[in-house]
Amino acid sequence: MPVSAANGLDIHYTVTGSGPPLVMVHALPFDRRLWDLQIAAFADRFTCIAMDLRGWGASAKPHDPFTLRDMGDDVMGVLRDLGVTQGAVVMGCSIGSKIALMLACDHPDVFCATILIGGQSGPQNQFDHRIAAYRAHAAAGTLSGYHLGHLRHGVTQGWADSQAGRAFLQRFVDDASLDPECIAQVFGALTVSDLTPRLGAYKTPTLIVNGEHDSALAGGTRTAGLIAHAQHVIMPGAGHCCFVENPASFNDTVSAFLGQHGFMPRPA
């Protein structure tokens, strides 16, 4: 797997397919594999670029404080290594949606469209309970069980209990890849970030998708209201990571949005 150190840390990523760049930024507490179903669907039209955010998967796990912009700079470092300078679509879920929106605000010359799953743009609730729990379970040797419980919050509980859901979530349970001290810094960076003052001048075509049972639905709705041109879609019966529970409907929604704006290329 390729590694970028362009922003001073080792960020692991994958590149699949061919065509214009489709940059994928995952949710917590997952890693780049969260996008496997979308990569399979879009790799015949796009160069799908999926990376592990710092603190997750195979990427570096620094303990010193950092900001959401530092995490966004990690993504831009990967793109610099790949020579991506324009015509990219950025798609993110949860913290990834906030990073994607920040990148689209900061680099309108690079990103032609933005897809936000969750779509929270303002400051978020404190995550002190998550930080404390990751530390406590790591010390007690029970981190796998806690991590699995946290993963389940990304989907509806019915889907999490299904055979497909159990198999999908179990892929991400790995004590060795989790560092509670870096996780604490990630949650700290997420808590204080506020992009709402920038949305009045924001012009990039944007799709916001929430599941009907998404804990971030209120935040996504608020963000959609602050972006005058945004398209907001609510997927029935799905949770936060709606694209995992109902990939066919989600992928069709993304394809229609990109086609509407002239960004959906023909298959390779």
- pLDDT tens for each residue of 225-241: 999 899 999 999 999 99
Q: Could you tell me the end-to-end alpha-carbon distance of the chain, in angstroms, rounded to an integer?
A: 23
Segment 119-135 mean pLDDT: 88
Q: With a cut of 70, say whether residue 175 has pLDDT above it.
A: no
pLDDT value at residue 204 = 97
For residues 267 and 74, what is the distance between their CA atoms, to the nearest angstrom? 29
> Which residues on adjacent β-strands are paired with residue 233?
209
pLDDT value at residue 124 = 78
Mean pLDDT of the chain, nearest integer: 95
pLDDT value at residue 130 = 94
Which structure tokens are listed for 228? 């005058």
Distance of CA 256 to the CA centre of its chain: 20
Q: pLDDT for 78-126, tens place per residue?
A: 999 999 999 999 999 999 999 999 999 999 999 999 999 998 898 877 7
Q: How many beta carbons lie within 10 A of that of residue 194, not counting itself?
A: 12
Domain boundaries, given as residue ranges, for the chain: 3-123+194-260
Segment 32-44 mean pLDDT: 98
Model pTM? 0.97
* CATH architecture group of domain 3-123+194-260: 3-Layer(aba) Sandwich (3.40)
Q: pLDDT for 176-200, tens place per residue?
A: 789 999 999 999 999 888 999 999 9
**Following DSSP, what letter does each residue of 30-50 receive, concatenated?**
--GGGGHHHHHHHTTTSEEEE
Bridging pattern class, strands 88-93 and 47-51: unpaired
The residue among 258 and 175 whose pLDDT is bigger is 258
